[in-house]
Structures are given as C-alpha cells and as structure tokens.
A and B are shown apart, each in its own frame.
Chain A
Amino acid sequence: MRLIDNLQQRLFRWQDDGTTSIRLGQRRIFIVPSRGGLLFALALVVMLIGAINYNLALGHALVFLLAGIGISGMVHTFRNLHGLSITPGRCAPVFVGEKAEFELILDNDRPMTRRSLVFEADKGMSAIVAVNGHDRAKITVPVGSHRRGWMALPRVRLSTRYPLGLFTAWSYLQPAMRCLVYPCPRPTPLPENTLRPLGGISNGQGGQEDFSGFRERQPADSLRHVAWKASARDNGQRPLLIKQFAGGSDAELDLAWSATDPALADETRLSMLTAWVLEAGSRHLHFALSLPGQEIPAGSGEAHQQRCLEALALFPS
C-alpha cells in the first residue's frame, strides 16, 4: 500500500495548497478515457472494420468524424477544468455524525459555462456544480464527521466528464481548511440542582412555557426543539424552525464536568455537557461551563454558546 501511495504521490503531485486560491493549470489536471470512452472506441473499431469490409467511403468518413469528435471532446473535457480558480471558503461547525460542509468558491474567467464539476472528498459523498461564464459559484463539499475536534478537509478530487462523457479529467485539491466538530449531544435533562437564582426574580421554567414564535434552526440547536409541524409546511425549502419561548429565565446555570456521572466515559460526559449547553442556550438561560482545567464564566447568547461548544470540542482527551 505504501508503494502505491508513493507512486500516486509522485504521479499526481499531491501537495498542500494552503489557504490561497488555486488555479488549475495543465500540470495538475489528469485525463484518461472513461468506461464509456473505451466502449466508444471499441464501437469505432468495429465500425471501421465494417466500413473497410463493405468498402463504404462514407462509412470511413463517419468513423473518422466520430473519432475527431471524441478527440476534440477530450480537449473540451480538459478545458472544463483548465483555468478554474478555487478559493477556500468557510465551514460552519457541526456535531459528530453530521455532514461537515466545506465551502469552496469557484471563479470561472472563461466565457463558457463549466458544467458537471464533481467534488468528492469523502467516499460516496459528492457535490456537482456548474459555473456560468465569467461568473462565480459556491459549492459545499460534504464530508462525514466521526470525531470531535478539528477536522481537516481531506484531499478533494475534482472530476468532470463533460461534455461527452468519453474522458474523465480530474485534479486533486488540498486547500488548508478545517471544520470544528462538536461532540454529539446526548439528550439529558438539565441538572436541576445547579440552577441558582441570579439576583432578581426567577421565572421558574417560564422559558419553556410561553411560546413566542419561531426562528430558523442553527446547527447548534438540538433537534428536540425543532417545530416539525411548522417546518413541514414549506416542504423543506427553508431551514428547520425552532420554537422560541418568551420569558427567558434570569437564573444562572452552572454546567460542570463534576455534575455528570463520573462512571461514564469521558466522551459520554462531554456529550451530556454538549446537550446541556444546547438546552440552556435554546432556553436563553444564563450559564457557565466548567471543565477540568478550564472555566468559562457565566454568560448567554450565540457567541457564549459557541465558545462553550468549542471548549467541549477541543477538550483534550
């Protein structure tokens, strides 16, 4: 296997592309006949033999014209990639098990549309995009996430068979991009005993009772709060909706590593804490997070929640 890896490394000149734009030049585009192309070639050989045997002048012409179309199709397949600029974009954090979506920005400085560009970073997950002439398009490359922490974008294979499908042209991209993977939330009721009033009047569980409307779901929202009925009304055209409750509590919640069952595995405890952070966030509670060797003072809001989740994701194992 190492031998093959070495060979591929030499052949395809795998390299780290950093964070700048990549412009596909001829040195990094590879092209071979596809299975359809081999079949096409076989058909042409049979047709040529037929044309010779029956002495068909126009048969010769047809075979030669088709061969010419195949060859100029090869140049066009190459052109579909040649000169394409790829710039790394953003990548929103995901929870373990979700698809990380690495955003790439594609710039086409040619007048013709580049079609059927297939991006594949993870086996079995691909994204197809077309970029109009003199235009820009965004694509998100899906990658399955399996472990919390930083996940680097694996080597991306960008391939195309457009226009004729007789040749496959491809290129390897390795932009320096990473995605933060939060632990997978493990639904657990909030620890009641850690709730302590923050000065003023407590509204008790009010935050869960006074329904005040919907908002769009963020990746950090627990699926438990999705308003499925309301979301189903628009046939999934928009992001899922989350029920919002008025009267967020002013109580302060202390979400502590020590509050989880020490008998459980570390990862499980992290998952429970993640669920708590999400729950507290969705209820607009004021909460603090304490992990061994790390304290995040009490706060609320998106930024605070993300800070907590980041701490959980990057918790040294």
Chain B
Amino acid sequence: MSTAQPEALARDVPPWLFAAAAVTTLPHALHLPLWLSLLTGLLCGWAAWLWWQDRRLPRRWLLLPLAVAGSIGIVADFGTLLGRDAGVAMLVMFMAMKLLEMRSRRDAMVVILLGYFLLLTHYFYSQDMPTGLWLLLSLWLVTAALIRLHAGTIGIRENLRYAGLLAVQALPFMLVLYLLFPRISGPLWGLPQDAFSGKTGLSDSMTPGSIANLVQSGEIAFRVRFDAAPPARPQLYWRGPVMEHFDGTTWRQSRQRRAPESIQPAGPTIGYETTLEAHSQRWLLALDAPVTLPDGASLDGRLSALAQQPLETRQRFRLAAATAYRFNAEEAPAVLRDNLQLPPNSNPQTRMLAESWRQQAVQPERVVALALRHFSTEDFYYTLQPPLLGRDGIDDFLFRSRRGFCEHYAAAFVVLMRSAGIPARVVGGYQGGEMNPRDGYLVVRQSEAHAWAEVWLANRGWVRVDPTAAVAPERIEQGIANALPFGEPLPAFLQVRADWLRDIRHRWEALNNAWNQNILGYDARRQRELLSRLGLPDADWRSLAIALGVACTLVLALITLWTLHHRRRVAPELMLWHRALRRIRVDCAPGETPLALAARVGNSKPELAADFAAVVHHFLLARYAPENPEHLAALRAAVARLPRRRNP
C-alpha cells in the first residue's frame, strides 16, 4: 500500500519506455540519414544514463535549441517538414527528445502513443513478414510498458504475460475488423511526391547496360498462376515497352499514337492471373499476345497492355493470352516508315553488311535467317560484362567487341534489319520465369529482364525474333544462370545452385506469396467477394456496418465471458467440514467456532462426541496449517468415521 502521488513516475518505469522507444525507432535507422540516427541514439543514451545515475532531467531551455537544430537539419536534408519521410524523421526525433522530458505519467503516455504511431510508419517502407513479426513484438513490448505505467508494481514476467494476453484477446477483434471494416481503395487526398520511391523495374528506354544492371537484382517482378498447365518456357515472353525510336545509343518509345491492333489467335487461349509488384509504370507485362484484358486496361497499339494508372502498389490482374497468333498482318505505311528510322551517318559497317545480305536474299525472311546465322556462327559471346562501346556503338559491337548482353543483340539486330529495309523494333520485357513447386506460382524476377526484336513481314505481321536465342539458346531454354559463361561472376542470388538451398528459397517465397496474396492483397474487391460468399451479395456500407456491429458485439461478449468467468474455489477442508456437519445433522451458528460447536455436540449428542472431536481437531489443522497435506487426509478419514446419515 502506498499513498504516493499517482501521477509521479516510479523508478523502474523509464527502462520500459526506453525499450519501447528503442524497438519502435530502431528499424528506421535503415533509411533515415545517419546524423539523425546518431542524434536519436545519443539522446536515448543520455536519457538512460541520467536515469541510471538518478539525475535530474535537463531543463527545457536546453532541449528547445536541440529541437530547433534537429528540425533545421531535417529541413536541410529532406527539403521540407511535411513530406512522408520528413514526417517520420520528425517523429523519431520527438520520440528521443520526449525521453529527456519524462517527468509525469502523462509524459510517459505521450511516449507510448508516439511508439504506437511509429509502428505504423514502418509500413511505409516494408510490409513483408519479418517487418510484421518485428512490429508484433514491438507492439507487445510497448503494451507491456503501458501496463507497467499503470500497474503500481508488477514483475517483468507477469507484465509481459499480461500484455501478451491482451494482444491475444485483441486478435479476434482485429480479424473481424480486418475482414468487415469497409475498405476504401485509393488515397483520400493527393499523396506527397515521395510516397513511392525506390521501385526497381524496367524503364521506358534502353541503353546498352541498362538491362544488364537490372538483371543483378533478385527481386521479384511478378508472379503468375496459370489456370491450366503453363506454356513451355521458350514461349514465355512478357511484353513491356516497345521501343521504336533510336538515337544511336538509346532506344525510346515512340510518342505516335497507333491504331488498335488486329490480333488473330492461332491456338488455344491461356488464362492466368498475374500479381505485379509496384514498378511505377503502366505496363502490365502481359504474356504475348494478350487476348483478354482486365477492366480498365488497354492495349497501346503495339501489343503492350497498359493499366489506367501507374502501378504504385502490388496489384493483381486476370488476363488471357494466345501464344500462337498473328498480329497486324496489315500495318499502316506510316508505322512501317517509323520502324525503318536510323540516325543518319551512323554505323556504316553495319549498314554495308545489311546491304550485302539484302542483295543476297530477295525475301525478308531470308535476311532474318542470315542475320541470326551470323550471330550463331560468328564469334559472339553472351556476357553480363560487355566492354564499353564507342560512338558507332553497333559497329563496335558487331565487328570488334562481339561481347554483349540481350540488349546489345536486340539493338544490333534491329539496326541490321532496318538497314536492310525491313521494319523492326526493340521490345523490352521479361523472358521465362521459375516455377515454384511449393505453391505452383511462376515467379518472374528482375533477373529475367530481357530485350528482343520484332520484325514486320508482309502477310505475317509483326514476328518476334530473339537474337539472344541464336547466341545463347540456353538463356531462353533454361534461364540466365545457365547461359552465362563459366567463371563469370553471377548475381549473388543466382549462385545458389544446391537443391536444398533452392528448396528453402522456394518455401520462403511461397510463404511470402501467400502472405502477399491473402493478407496484404485483401482489398475492397476481395471484401465484396467474401461478403457475397457469406450470403451478403451487393453489400453496401449499411449492411457492412450492421455485420461489423454484430460481429464486434459477439466478440466483445466472448471476451467478457472469458475474462470475467471464474469458478469460485471452495477449499477442500471446508467441503469436508460441511459434509461432516450434514452427517451429524448439526447447524453451525454464525460466529460459532468449531471448538464451541464441538462442545455443544458433546452435550447434545454424547455418542458422537469423540468422533466429532477428532473431525474438529483435524479440520483446524487442515484449515490453519495447510502446508501439511497429511492433515487433509486425516480430516477425510475422520469424516468417514462419522455415522452415515440414515433416513428416519
């Protein structure tokens, strides 16, 4: 018992708050500027040291300049105080400063609420499973700190157990709210510019080396689940940007609008569902050639499927494709002219070579075959580390270095074709994919980024030609890890060739995929699906609110029952005592002691006196010396010796 001021902080409360502050700010060190992380660590350390030494907290006039200096530093670093990243930086700094201002329980409450708030900000940067797990642990610790703050005194273990119990009881609430709370998709207001940053993926232009850089990344670009058996690997061309304009080094998309495609499927339609990671571009990376598109998506006239908005979050789409097709057998002359464009006075040797092929062969198909044979028979190498190329890059590549990656071959091939008068263009995208046997998803990574060529042939339309296949057929058949020459340094994740390691990776990625699909991917559309499966089709917000209210009430009732229910334990010696009184048919008056009762029984029923005196003796021992279990056994035996109750 104490009569201390309830608002003052007990001595052993601050360490909990330090711990809460540490776990909620620590992961931000991954992306905050170094000086801010150091400042935060220093302030936390200072607060902890002051607590350890039991010293006074610094005065306000000392903290104010520090706060101002920190804010100025943040403005200098981020250019603003209002953006998402700057806001997170401010919160982290406030948290550290508040630790130096912790005088009362209210200050501690602010630290804890800031901690909860900081937990949310981590999701701006990552929502994967390890983050989720770390934040669950942090939540547990912060809640324990909150309990410690209001408990008076409580042991560490009991505190943690209590916080865990509360979190477990909160889980059903979370589940109900997660499933039934009306989901609003899309931002409520314009997002700050830095809302999406640091996304990897194909860019809308191609220079020598750009794809080779992308290939170094093991990140997943998208996952695909086919309705039926997946097509063979050499047919898995996922189309991104089509690049028609060449300035000598860089290939770019043409700004010209194109008439709608005419696609004639020449085989079965393959349905699939693709889950694209955010890449900040509009293309859907559809399998060639797309025949069914999701709502809101469209084709751009070059067979690239585009979404309405750039993909800033992970999204799922349903599509269908026909891998055998004929595409734009008739093409507008203007388009064909565009696809013959070459920068003037460049690459003379290449032009001469193409000219000579053109004279050898009458049909464009023959020219294509000659070019491919040139790549496969001459001394070309497929490598991630090509030498730098000069001003006439294609000439350098074709006649001198002869070492290149897919973008070199695609670019050289298109320049050759255009020089020979055949309309051609570069297509960027991904080729292949790795089937995860654990969950049946085809995983396509950045390392599968690829560039190939497309030529237009009369009556056949645009035909895909992949010159890389002529140089390194393994790239198309088996993937990049098998196509690169022995001894070439592989991207780190590709070096894993042991089966068991690959199996672990497959399991991990399948788990991540399940997490993404089922937990992170739960949105307004999935909510509607769930509700219609629960028998609430076309649920509007009103019926949703009713369902939510009913479910929450039920959960609250269950938790209340769970929490308040307890069986009142009656001590065993008391039960035996009452049994003894029933047997001898004696009532105990209020306030009558067992010894007084024994005396009364001795007077009124002398035949029972001895037995009952034994019961009283053992009852008193069992009741007041409970540490010895023999007393209880003796009492039980004494009660058994009493005469059984007979019906009169």
Instruction: Assess the A53–B187 pair: CB atoms within 8 A.
Output: yes
Instruction: Assess the A72–B173 pair: CB atoms within 8 A.
Output: yes
The answer to whether B117 has its CB under 8 Å from any CB of chain A is yes
Q: For residue A163, which residues in chain B have a CB less than 8 angstroms away from its CB?
A: 146-147, 150-151, 162, 166
Q: For residue A39, which residues in chain B have a CB less than 8 angstroms away from its CB?
A: 109, 113
CB distance from A278 to the nearest CB of B (A): 27
Contact with B along A63-80 (1 / 0, CB 8 A): 111111101110110110
Q: For residue B150, which residues in chain A have a CB less than 8 angstroms away from its CB?
A: 116, 161-165
The answer to whether A50 has its CB under 8 Å from any CB of chain B is yes
Instruction: Assess the A126–B6 pair: CB atoms within 8 A.
Output: yes
CA distance A125 to B4 in the complex (A): 10
Within 8 Å by CB of A75, from B177, B191, B564, lies B564
Instruction: Assess the A69–B166 pair: CB atoms within 8 A.
Output: yes
Instruction: Assess the B556–A71 pair: CB atoms within 8 A.
Output: yes
The answer to whether B72 has its CB under 8 Å from any CB of chain A is no
Instruction: Assess the A128–B123 pair: CB atoms within 8 A.
Output: no
Instruction: Assess the B117–A47 pair: CB atoms within 8 A.
Output: yes
The answer to whether A58 has its CB under 8 Å from any CB of chain B is yes
Within 8 Å by CB of A164, from B135, B146, B313, B522, lies B146
Within 8 Å by CB of A68, from B172, B184, B522, B560, lies B172
Instruction: Indicate whether A126 sits within 8 Å of B3 (C-beta atoms), given known contacts A55-B186, A62-B135, A72-B563.
Output: yes
Q: For residue B559, which residues in chain A have a CB less than 8 angstroms away from its CB?
A: 71-72, 75
Q: For residue B106, which residues in chain A have a CB less than 8 angstroms away from its CB?
A: 36
The answer to whether B361 has its CB under 8 Å from any CB of chain A is no
Instruction: Assess the A43–B123 pair: CB atoms within 8 A.
Output: no
CB distance from A48 to the nearest CB of B (A): 9
Instruction: Indicate whether A127 sits within 8 Å of B143 (C-beta atoms), given known contacts A56-B123, A60-B178, A64-B177.
Output: no
Instruction: Assess the A53–B188 pair: CB atoms within 8 A.
Output: yes
Contact with A along B103-125 (1 / 0, CB 8 A): 00110010001001101100110
Number of interface residues of A (CB under 8 A): 60
CA distance A50 to B119 in the complex (A): 12
The answer to whether B53 has its CB under 8 Å from any CB of chain A is no
CB distance from B564 to the nearest CB of A (A): 6
The answer to whether B400 has its CB under 8 Å from any CB of chain A is no
Interface size range of chain B in the complex: 35 or more
Q: For residue A61, which residues in chain B have a CB less than 8 angstroms away from its CB?
A: 174, 178, 519
Within 8 Å by CB of A128, from B4, B181, B195, lies B4
CA distance A139 to B556 in the complex (A): 33
CB distance from B307 to the nearest CB of A (A): 15
Instruction: Assess the A68–B6 pair: CB atoms within 8 A.
Output: no
Instruction: Assess the A51–B166 pair: CB atoms within 8 A.
Output: no
Instruction: Assess the A164–B181 pair: CB atoms within 8 A.
Output: no
Instruction: Assess the B6–A66 pair: CB atoms within 8 A.
Output: no
The answer to whether A155 has its CB under 8 Å from any CB of chain B is no
Within 8 Å by CB of A130, from B6, B152, B566, lies B152
Within 8 Å by CB of B170, from A54, A56, A69, A138, lies A69
Instruction: Assess the A59–B120 pair: CB atoms within 8 A.
Output: yes
Instruction: Assess the B566–A110 pair: CB atoms within 8 A.
Output: yes
The answer to whether B132 has its CB under 8 Å from any CB of chain A is yes
The answer to whether B289 has its CB under 8 Å from any CB of chain A is no
Contact with A along B161-178 (1 / 0, CB 8 A): 010001101111110011
Q: For residue B187, which residues in chain A have a CB less than 8 angstroms away from its CB?
A: 53-55
Which among A64, A110, A116 has the greatest number of chain B C-beta atoms within 10 A?
A64
Contact with B along A251-295 (1 / 0, CB 8 A): 000000000000000000000000000000000000000000000
CA distance A140 to B187 in the complex (A): 57
Instruction: Specify the main secondary structure of chain B where it touches its partner.
Output: helix
CA distance A62 to B117 in the complex (A): 10
CB distance from A153 to the nearest CB of B (A): 17
Instruction: Assess the B171–A62 pair: CB atoms within 8 A.
Output: no
Within 8 Å by CB of B167, from A69, A79, A127, A129, lies A69
Q: For residue A54, which residues in chain B have a CB less than 8 angstroms away from its CB?
A: 84, 123-124, 187, 191, 195
CB distance from B422 to the nearest CB of A (A): 46
Instruction: Indicate whether A71 sits within 8 Å of B170 (C-beta atoms), given known contacts A47-B120, A55-B185, A64-B177.
Output: yes
CA distance A101 to B204 in the complex (A): 82
The answer to whether A137 has its CB under 8 Å from any CB of chain B is yes
CB distance from A19 to the nearest CB of B (A): 14
Instruction: Indicate whether A115 sits within 8 Å of B154 (C-beta atoms), given known contacts A53-B188, A64-B178, A128-B4.
Output: yes
- Name the residue on B nearest A77 (C-beta): B150
Q: For residue B313, which residues in chain A have a CB less than 8 angstroms away from its CB?
A: 55
The answer to whether A111 has its CB under 8 Å from any CB of chain B is yes
Which among A110, A116, A118, A140 has the greatest number of chain B C-beta atoms within 10 A?
A116
Within 8 Å by CB of B1, from A67, A78, A109, A129, lies A129
CB distance from B84 to the nearest CB of A (A): 8
Instruction: Assess the B152–A115 pair: CB atoms within 8 A.
Output: yes
CB distance from B121 to the nearest CB of A (A): 8
Q: For residue A52, which residues in chain B have a CB less than 8 angstroms away from its CB?
A: 184, 188
Q: For residue B566, which residues in chain A have a CB less than 8 angstroms away from its CB?
A: 110-111
The answer to whether A315 has its CB under 8 Å from any CB of chain B is no
Instruction: Assess the B116–A43 pair: CB atoms within 8 A.
Output: yes
The answer to whether B388 has its CB under 8 Å from any CB of chain A is no
The answer to whether B495 has its CB under 8 Å from any CB of chain A is no
CA distance A134 to B109 in the complex (A): 31
Instruction: Assess the A71–B173 pair: CB atoms within 8 A.
Output: yes
The answer to whether A175 has its CB under 8 Å from any CB of chain B is no
Q: For residue A71, which residues in chain B have a CB less than 8 angstroms away from its CB?
A: 170, 173, 556, 559
Q: For residue B139, which residues in chain A have a CB less than 8 angstroms away from its CB?
A: 62, 65-66
Instruction: Assess the A116–B109 pair: CB atoms within 8 A.
Output: no
CB distance from A36 to the nearest CB of B (A): 5
CA distance A161 to B147 in the complex (A): 10
The answer to whether B153 has its CB under 8 Å from any CB of chain A is yes
Q: For residue B563, which residues in chain A have a CB less than 8 angstroms away from its CB?
A: 72, 75-76, 79
Q: For residue A55, which residues in chain B have a CB less than 8 angstroms away from its CB?
A: 185-187, 313
Q: For residue A232, which residues in chain B have a CB less than 8 angstroms away from its CB?
A: none
The answer to whether B568 has its CB under 8 Å from any CB of chain A is yes
Instruction: Indicate whether A116 sits within 8 Å of B568 (C-beta atoms), given known contacts A59-B123, A68-B172, A129-B1.
Output: no
Instruction: Assess the B170–A79 pair: CB atoms within 8 A.
Output: no
Q: For residue A76, which residues in chain B have a CB less than 8 angstroms away from its CB?
A: 166, 563
The answer to whether A11 has its CB under 8 Å from any CB of chain B is no
Instruction: Assess the A68–B170 pair: CB atoms within 8 A.
Output: yes
The answer to whether A142 has its CB under 8 Å from any CB of chain B is yes
Instruction: Assess the A64–B117 pair: CB atoms within 8 A.
Output: no
Q: For residue B151, which residues in chain A have a CB less than 8 angstroms away from its CB?
A: 115-116, 162-163
The answer to whether B127 has its CB under 8 Å from any CB of chain A is yes
CA distance A78 to B562 in the complex (A): 13
The answer to whether A82 has its CB under 8 Å from any CB of chain B is yes
The answer to whether A49 has its CB under 8 Å from any CB of chain B is yes
Contact with A along B562-580 (1 / 0, CB 8 A): 0110101100000000000
Instruction: Indicate whether A128 sits within 8 Å of B152 (C-beta atoms), given known contacts A52-B184, A65-B139.
Output: yes
Within 8 Å by CB of B116, from A66, A111, A127, lies A66
CA distance A67 to B116 in the complex (A): 12
Q: For residue B172, which residues in chain A have a CB less than 8 angstroms away from its CB?
A: 68
A-B contact pairs, 15 of them (CB 8 A): A49-B188, A54-B187, A57-B127, A57-B521, A57-B522, A60-B181, A69-B143, A69-B170, A79-B564, A118-B6, A128-B6, A130-B153, A162-B147, A162-B150, A163-B146
What would 9 more interface pairs be, CB under 8 Å, given A58-B131, A115-B153, A118-B6?
Answer: A40-B113, A47-B120, A54-B124, A58-B123, A67-B173, A128-B1, A129-B1, A134-B569, A139-B1
- Residues of A with Cβ closer than 8 Å to B? 36, 39-40, 43, 46-47, 49-69, 71-73, 75-76, 78-79, 82-83, 109-111, 113, 115-116, 118, 125-130, 134, 137-140, 142, 161-165
